[in-house]
């Protein structure tokens, strides 16, 4: 107690001393009043060591002197100095004993001071160790949390001599996030009841328990099927004085990449086997024909047949090699498109001609549905026809004999869609996402029809080079499939002018069509009308945009020849109104104008014109435009 009191700050010691002195004086006065004054000396003597410890030797001596003076001067009846001998003995004893008590108090104060310093040093050391431990724990937490790698410590729970479960003892922030709970809620819980979503408690107990029983290190992968699909974690665990520490990281990307490489390697092997098969198919008849040609006495008919077989089989080999070369060029970024204004109907005709032998060979019905208005796009005609032929050929391959294949073209403000649909074997939903991968087959196990498995991947790449996309859909097995080429609307362009030709002296027979001529130049309008009437067409003529709109309420032309520079309602305004009117939206619009700059052609295309000719118009070009437009289904 004295040691503790000696450590009080000065102000606290002063207040404690004042209070103690007041208590001593009050007790002294009470004893003086109720008993003989000798008892006062006992109380004062008891306070001497405390006062000396609190305030030093001087204060103790002052209190001792005060006691002596009290006894000698104020204690009744007249003070001890003139009192009884035994009273003087008490005073003398008080003086001697008090002196020893003051001296003892002084020594006690020194001891208390040294003890206080030792205690303060011990407390300071304890505080410093606690602070170091706290700082070390903080640095430990900061280091583990800033690393961003999930880390945890588990401790085994032993039951009946064996490890029954593991207990979470520590989690960093990255690990706690996998629990969707605060780390404090997880710490102390069993791994059997609280663990990251999708993790297997038995696996954790099986792999981590041996490390808690003996020193060692282990690494393993954990497959988790969670809300975000399949995930993989790589765990590195080690022993730590009866516990187990572990780091784990998300290696889903690595595992998926390895799986993709394995799948690509498998497809590569299948591709090489298929390539060998596909090359042997034409080589066999080529070799046989070579042997036939060596035979003497061949008839001309047999020789012609041999040449036909050689051409057909060498063409098949050339197609295989072309596909391989195209894939290689696209992979290296070396394939370039030769874009030009292409009539979509012409590209489709090219594709149909290529696929026709297979379609007819399997007895398929081919239906082609084109819009009433001709469509021209900026594209590589050869590559576009190649893609469409590939889709038609695939439809023929994977449709049982006597099936139906339908090619449809649709266009709106956003895109142009060319779809090829069939009623064949269809595609299972889980295989739809893989059919555009390199070396994939639609159904290699049950319906092998040949091919290298690169056609759809090549077609997809070619359409993407055009700025479009290739999609696939199917109702499932044996429910047919549909492949669609989507070209952006901005690929649509005005058709290029046909090369000029001399007007033939003898007019060829043409089909008669209903034509409306609109031009504010009366002579030009009447001359054009006369020319078209000589060719056998039914022609009406008006000289303003307003008259054109009015006549269309009761006259339905198939073709409208429209001047752009009309007074009042311009030809562009008339064209826009025609395209927004249901009864005339599919009519063929041909611009006849003196404006022929690229921006003029762009404006007429935006207004809905199908053709744009500058004055004076080439009669043959105009005739071809009328015939081609009206002939379109």
Q: Confirm whether 496 is domain-assigned.
A: no
Give how many domains the chain has, as a whole number: 5
Q: Identify the CATH number of the domain in which residue 349 sits.
A: 3.30.565.10
Residues 354, 483 within the same domain: yes
Residues 264, 246 within the same domain: no
Residues 307, 376 within the same domain: no
| Boundary-marking domain end, from 332, 348, 376 | 332
Mean pLDDT across 583-591: 89
Whole-number Å distance between alpha carbons of 604 and 610? 8
Q: Confirm whether 130 is domain-assigned.
A: no
User: What pLDDT sits at residue 368?
Assistant: 93
Structure tokens at 266: 């498998």
User: What pLDDT sits at residue 577?
Assistant: 92
| Boundary-marking domain end, from 250, 272, 304 | 250
Question: Bigger pLDDT: 27 or 405?
Answer: 405
User: What pLDDT sits at residue 614?
Assistant: 83
The answer to whether residue 324 scores a pLDDT higher than 90 is no
Span 144-169, pLDDT tens digits: 666 667 778 888 887 777 777 788 77
User: What pLDDT sits at residue 535?
Assistant: 86
* b/e sequence 17-47, b meaning 16+ C-beta within 10 Å: beeebeebeebbeebbeeeebbebbebbbeb
Q: Which of 373, 416, 342 is nearest to 609 (CA)?
A: 373
User: What pLDDT sits at residue 117?
Assistant: 75
Whole-number Å distance between alpha carbons of 543 and 549? 11
**Angle formed at CA 436 by CA 431 and CA 441, multiple of 5 degrees:** 60
Identify whether the C-beta of residue 365 lies closer than 8 Å to the C-beta of residue 403: yes
User: What pLDDT sits at residue 184?
Assistant: 59
CB atoms within 10 A of CB 155: 18
Identify whether the C-beta of residue 424 lies closer than 8 Å to the C-beta of residue 395: yes
Residues 107, 208 within the same domain: no
Span 164-223, pLDDT tens digits: 778 877 777 677 777 766 655 677 777 766 767 667 777 777 777 788 778 888 888 888
Q: For residue 406, give every residue at least 6 positions away whose Cβ sits within 8 Å of its Cβ, in sequence order, or none.
A: 366, 367, 368, 369, 420, 421, 422
**Angle formed at CA 268 by CA 264 and CA 271, multiple of 5 degrees:** 135
Q: Confirm whether 282 is domain-assigned.
A: yes
When computed from its CA atoms, the radius of gyration of the chain, rounded to whole angstroms, is: 53
The answer to whether residue 501 scores a pLDDT higher than 50 is no
Report helix, strand or coil for 582. coil
List the beta strands (DSSP E) in 183-265: 217-226, 229-240, 243-250
Question: Bigger pLDDT: 424 or 279?
Answer: 424
Residues 50, 66 within the same domain: yes
Structure tokens at 33: 């009043």
* b/e sequence 179-196, b meaning 16+ C-beta within 10 Å: beeebeebbeebbeebbb
Q: What's the DSSP call for residue 206?
A: H
Torsion of CA 443, 448, 449, 450, to 10 degrees: 100
| Boundary-marking domain end, from 222, 250, 278 | 250
Residues 520, 461 within the same domain: no
Mean pLDDT across 337-363: 86
**Angle formed at CA 550 by CA 545 and CA 555, multiple of 5 degrees:** 115
Q: Confirm whether 137 is domain-assigned.
A: no
pLDDT category, 548, cuts 50, 70, 90? Answer: very high
Residues 266, 239 within the same domain: no
Q: Confirm whether 141 is domain-assigned.
A: no
pLDDT category, 78, cuts 50, 70, 90? Answer: very low
**Angle formed at CA 382 by CA 404 and CA 495, multiple of 5 degrees:** 95
Whole-number Å distance between alpha carbons of 603 and 497? 17
* b/e sequence 504-539, b meaning 16+ C-beta within 10 Å: eeeeeeeeebbbbbbbbeeebbeebbebbeebebeb
3-state SS track over 134-152: HHHHHHHHHHHHHHCCCEE
Residue at token pair 């004993």: 97
Residues 114, 163 within the same domain: no
Residues 453, 536 within the same domain: no
Give Cα 155 to chain centroid, integer Å.
Answer: 37
Structure tokens at 360: 């007819």
Q: Identify the CATH number of the domain in which residue 558 sits.
A: 3.40.50.2300
User: What pLDDT sits at residue 561?
Assistant: 94
Whole-number Å distance between alpha carbons of 484 and 468? 10
Residues 234, 101 within the same domain: no
Q: Confirm whether 305 is domain-assigned.
A: yes
What is the largest distance, in Å, between two alpha-carbon atoms of the chain?
A: 176
Structure tokens at 307: 């040449």
User: What pLDDT sits at residue 576?
Assistant: 92
Q: Which residues form the domain of 269? A: 256-332
Residues 353, 463 within the same domain: yes
Q: For residue 507, give every residue at least 6 positions away whose Cβ sits within 8 Å of its Cβ, in sequence order, or none.
A: 534, 535
Q: Identify the CATH number of the domain in which residue 213 sits.
A: 3.30.450.20
Q: Which of 480, 513, 494 is nearest to 378 (CA)?
A: 494
Residues 202, 302 within the same domain: no
Q: Confirm whether 504 is domain-assigned.
A: no
Identify whether the C-beta of residue 453 lies closer than 8 Å to the C-beta of residue 425: no
Question: Bigger pLDDT: 91 or 483?
Answer: 483
Q: For residue 443, give every residue at least 6 positions away whose Cβ sits within 8 Å of its Cβ, in sequence order, or none.
A: 398, 425, 427, 431
Whole-number Å distance between alpha carbons of 171 and 182? 10
Q: Confirm whether 509 is domain-assigned.
A: no
């Amino acid at each position: 107690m004295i040691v503790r009191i000696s450590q009080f700050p000065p102000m606290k010691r002063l207040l404690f001393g004042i209070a103690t002195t007041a208590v001593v004086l009050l007790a002294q006065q009470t004893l003086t009043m109720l008993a003989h004054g000798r008892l006062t000396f006992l109380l004062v003597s008891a306070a001497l060591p405390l006062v000396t410890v609190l305030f030093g030797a001087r204060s103790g001596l002052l209190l001792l002197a005060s006691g002596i003076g009290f006894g000698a001067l104020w204690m009744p009846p007249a003070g001890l100095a003139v009192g009884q001998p035994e009273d003087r003995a008490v005073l003398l004893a008080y003086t001697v004993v008090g002196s020893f008590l003051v001296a003892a108090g002084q020594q006690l104060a020194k001891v208390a001071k040294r003890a206080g310093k030792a205690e303060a040093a011990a407390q300071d050391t304890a505080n410093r160790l606690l602070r170091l431990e706290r700082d070390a724990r903080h640095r430990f937490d900061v280091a583990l949390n800033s690393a961003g790698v999930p880390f945890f410590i588990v401790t085994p729970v032993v039951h009946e001599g064996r490890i029954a479960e593991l207990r979470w003892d520590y989690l960093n922030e990255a690990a706690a996030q996998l629990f969707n709970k605060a780390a404090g809620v997880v710490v102390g819980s069993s791994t059997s009841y609280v663990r990251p979503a999708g993790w297997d408690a038995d696996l954790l107990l099986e792999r981590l328990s041996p490390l808690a029983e003996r020193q060692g290190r282990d690494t393993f992968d954990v497959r988790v099927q969670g809300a975000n699909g399949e995930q993989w974690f790589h765990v590195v665990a080690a022993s730590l004085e009866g516990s187990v520490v572990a780091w784990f990281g998300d290696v889903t990307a690595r595992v998926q990449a390895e799986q993709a490489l394995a799948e690509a390697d498998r497809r590569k092997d299948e591709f090489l086997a298929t390539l060998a098969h596909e090359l042997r198919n034409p080589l066999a008849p080529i070799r046989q024909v070579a042997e036939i040609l060596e035979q003497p006495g061949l008839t001309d008919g047999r020789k012609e047949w041999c040449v036909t077989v050689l051409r057909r089989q060498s063409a098949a080999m050339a197609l295989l090699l072309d596909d391989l070369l195209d894939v290689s060029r696209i992979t290296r970024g070396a394939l370039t498109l030769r874009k030009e204004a292409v009539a979509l109907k012409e590209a489709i005709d090219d594709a149909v001609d290529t696929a026709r032998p297979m379609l007819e060979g399997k007895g398929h019905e081919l239906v082609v549905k084109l819009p009433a208005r001709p469509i021209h796009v900026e594209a590589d005609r050869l590559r576009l026809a190649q893609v469409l032929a590939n889709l038609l050929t695939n439809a023929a391959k994977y449709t049982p004999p006597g099936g139906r294949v339908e090619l449809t073209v649709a266009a709106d403000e956003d895109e142009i869609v060319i779809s090829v649909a069939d009623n064949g074997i269809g595609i299972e939903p889980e295989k739809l996402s893989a059919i555009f991968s390199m070396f994939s087959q639609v159904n290699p196990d049950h319906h092998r029809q040949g091919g290298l498995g690169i056609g759809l991947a090549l077609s997809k790449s070619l359409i993407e080079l055009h700025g479009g996309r290739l999609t696939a859909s199917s109702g499932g097995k044996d429910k047919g499939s549909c492949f669609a080429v989507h070209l952006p609307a901005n690929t649509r362009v005005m058709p290029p002018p046909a090369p000029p030709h001399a007007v033939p002296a003898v007019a060829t027979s043409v089909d008669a069509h209903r034509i409306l001529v609109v031009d504010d130049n009366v002579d030009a309008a009447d001359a054009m009308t006369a020319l078209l009437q000589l060719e056998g067409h039914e022609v009406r003529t008006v000289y303003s945009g307003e008259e054109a709109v009015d006549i269309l309420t009761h006259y339905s032309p198939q073709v409208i020849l429209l001047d752009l520079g009309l007074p009042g309602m311009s030809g562009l305004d008339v064209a826009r109104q025609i395209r927004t009117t249901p009864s005339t939206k599919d009519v063929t619009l041909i611009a006849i104008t003196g404006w022929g700059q690229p921006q003029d052609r762009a404006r007429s295309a935006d207004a809905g014109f199908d053709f744009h000719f500058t004055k004076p118009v080439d009669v043959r070009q105009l005739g071809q435009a009328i015939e081609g437009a009206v002939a379109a289904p």
